[in-house]
Amino acid sequence: MSELFSDPESAQEIVVATIANQKNAAQVVEIVHLPDKGVLITRGISTHFNLKEIAIPQNVMLPAIHEMTAVLSYILERIATADDLKIPFRYDPEFELGDKRYMLQEGEDFMILGHKE
C-alpha cells in the first residue's frame, strides 16, 4: 500500500467522515476515500498518536460503512485511552466487536483492516 501516496497530485480524495475524540476535540481523524486506489484511509492517527494510519479496501468499507465506521471509532477510542493513560498502544492483529471478528494486518505504511472469516 505504499503506492497510495506515490502520486498525490492525481489522486482524487473524498472525506467521507470525521471522528473526533470526545475528551479532546483537537484530536480529529478523517476517513478519506481514494476511489482511484480502491481504498479508504484514516488521516490523523499518525499526527495525533504517532501510529500507522488504517487502510480499508473499499469493497470491505462501502457495503458496511456504518459497521466499519463503528469499528474505527472503537479502535480510536482504545488509542486515545492509552494516550490519556500514557501507556503504549499496540494494534491487536485480531479482535471482536459485537458478534463479528476483525483483523488488522500490518502493511508497509498502513494497518489494513478487514473482516476475520
> For residue range 63-105, what is the model confidence (pLDDT) as tens digits?
898 899 999 999 999 999 999 999 999 999 999 998 999 999 9
> Over the stretch 53-74, which tens digit does the pLDDT of each residue have?
999 999 998 889 889 999 999 9
The predicted model scores a pTM of 0.86
Residue 5 phi, psi (nearest 5): -110, 15
How long is the chain? 117
How many distinct structural domains can be found in the chain?
1
All cell numbers assigned to 42: 484514516
What range does the domain containing 99 cover? Answer: 2-115
